[in-house]
Amino acid sequence: MKRKMGNGPKYFIEIEGTEYPWDKETITVPEIRSLGGLPSEQPVIEIDPQGNEKTLAEDDIVTLKPGHRYGKKVQYKRG
């Protein structure tokens, strides 16, 4: 897939306080680990905008919402 000039990433993922640009509508748990440098022996936890935590399975696929800083956002951290 070719990218048009001037088109930046549509998604941003916060992992342990650092925000990363992402170009796809979905992200897998292994991709979250790789992007954030999270070790494989610790679970990945999704934190929703209300502060609720959910441990993700290794085969989970997360659908992202476009935009940058739309109020509180979903975050990820090691377990």
Fill in the amino acid letter for 27. Answer: I
pTM (predicted TM-score) = 0.75
Per residue in 34-77, pLDDT (tens digit) is 999 988 888 899 888 788 888 999 999 998 877 544 333 456 67
Helical spans, DSSP H, in the chain: 29-36
Phi, psi (degrees; rounded to nearest 5) at 68: -130, 120
| Tokens found for residue 9 | 């990433």
* CA gap 79, 69 in Å, rounded: 24
Domain ranges of the chain: 11-78
